[in-house]
């Protein structure tokens, strides 16, 4: 069972709990991106099993009126085993999701996986005429070139600052420089990407910038934030633009919970207070 402390960040262990969470968010006008927790599988069986679980989740979503979609991690679908295993598993999920009108996001993992992830995105978003989205990381030096590659493709792009720790040779490491890259890339996306932009950030400055770029360019966009982070802001923003909450679920929640708690002082203090009381 997930302790109450972790429930802030995790939608539950089972699909019914995750769907119930989606229903609650939908009640606040917020869409939900469901992610089954799991990554870096070394065995094909685990990767295939998660791909099957996603296919069942897609059926569950399609059988409801929920505003919900899914987000998958390449290493969860077998990228650490081989690119073929990853592409086959992703293909199974996309083939299942597209006819049911369930959108599939692909998360971006560490910089060594970017090419394989973008190749898979390009293939499946063409095949489904935009039924797939991918995440790009503003901290990577290559991202502007990647945006140029993706600009004319169907499908959405989620821009994030980057959660991994890439070497200086391929990435900006200074927060100010990463923020500068994020702003420049957001401006490029509003000018050049017509198929939908996702602002994957909790940063009020970046969200305000997106709002003003939307006023200038009228490019459709949505804001995406994580479950348990700035939820009051998620609810109030939902009156102004589409807001989607990324909500992880599943039994492998401990590492994810640890990452959330350790990334910010506020979260760590919240955890300590909850344990003491």
Stretch 162-181: interaction string toward ligand FAD, x if CB under 6 A? xxx-----------------
Residue 270 binds ligand FAD (CB under 6 A):
no
Residue 143 binds ligand FAD (CB under 6 A):
no
Helix (H) or strand (E) holding 149: helix 143-150
List beta partners, residue 96.
none
Least distance to ligand FAD, CB of residue 260, Å:
8
- Measured from the CB atom, the residue of 149 and 218 that comes closer to ligand FAD is 149
CB atoms within 10 A of CB 78: 26
Q: Give catalytic status of residue 107 as yes or no.
A: yes
Instruction: Please give the Cα distance from 190 to 125 (Å, whole number).
Output: 19
Residue 203 binds ligand FAD (CB under 6 A):
yes
Q: Give catalytic status of residue 158 as yes or no.
A: yes
* 75, 105, 270 from 116: Cα distances, Å: 11, 15, 38
Instruction: Please give the Cα distance from 33 to 13 (Å, whole number).
Output: 15
Among 161, 166, 227, 243, binds ligand FAD (CB under 6 A): 161
* 7, 202, 270, 271, 277 from 266: Cα distances, Å: 16, 14, 6, 9, 16
Residue 74 binds ligand FAD (CB under 6 A):
no
- Measured from the CB atom, the residue of 41 and 246 that comes closer to ligand FAD is 246
Least distance to ligand FAD, CB of residue 75, Å:
11
- Measured from the CB atom, the residue of 66 and 226 that comes closer to ligand FAD is 226
Residue 224 binds ligand FAD (CB under 6 A):
yes
Active-site hit among 50, 80, 158, 179? 158
- Measured from the CB atom, the residue of 41 and 256 that comes closer to ligand FAD is 256
* 17, 91, 126, 150, 239 from 119: Cα distances, Å: 33, 12, 11, 10, 36
- SS3 for 102-122 is CCEEECCCCHHHHHHHHHHHH
Active-site hit among 50, 80, 107, 179? 107
Q: Which two tokens stand for residue 252?
A: 């492998």
Active-site residue list: 107, 158
Q: Which residues bind ligand FAD (CB under 6 A)?
A: 107-108, 135, 137, 160-164, 200-204, 224-226, 229-230, 246, 264, 266-267
């Amino acid at each position: 069972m997930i302790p109450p402390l972790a429930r802030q960040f995790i939608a539950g262990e089972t699909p019914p709990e995750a769907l119930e969470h989606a229903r609650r968010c939908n009640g606040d006008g917020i869409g939900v991106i469901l992610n089954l927790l799991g990554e870096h599988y070394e065995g094909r069986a685990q990767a295939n099993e998660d791909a099957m679980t996603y296919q069942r989740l897609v059926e569950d979503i399609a059988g409801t009126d929920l505003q919900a979609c899914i987000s998958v991690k390449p290493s969860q679908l077998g990228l650490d085993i081989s690119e073929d295993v990853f592409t086959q598993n992703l293909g199974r999920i996309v083939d299942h999701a597209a006819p049911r009108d369930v959108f599939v996001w692909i998360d971006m993992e560490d910089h060594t996986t970017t090419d394989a992830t973008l190749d898979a995105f390009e293939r499946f978003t063409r095949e489904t005429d935009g039924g797939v989205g991918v995440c790009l990381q503003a901290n990577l030096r290559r991202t502007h070139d990647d945006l140029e590659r993706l600009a004319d493709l169907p499908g959405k792009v989620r821009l994030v600052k980057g959660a991994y720790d890439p070497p200086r040779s391929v990435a900006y490491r200074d927060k100010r420089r990463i923020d500068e890259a994020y702003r420049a890339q957001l401006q490029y996306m509003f000018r050049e990407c017509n198929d939908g932009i996702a602002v994957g950030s909790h940063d009020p400055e970046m969200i305000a910038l997106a709002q003003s770029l939307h006023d200038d360019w009228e490019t459709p966009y949505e804001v995406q934030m994580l479950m348990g982070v700035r939820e009051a802001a998620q609810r109030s923003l939902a009156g102004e633009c589409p807001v989607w909450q990324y909500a992880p679920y599943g039994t492998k929640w401990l590492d994810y919970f640890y990452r959330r708690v350790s990334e910010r002082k506020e979260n760590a203090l919240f955890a300590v207070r909850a344990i003491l009381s």
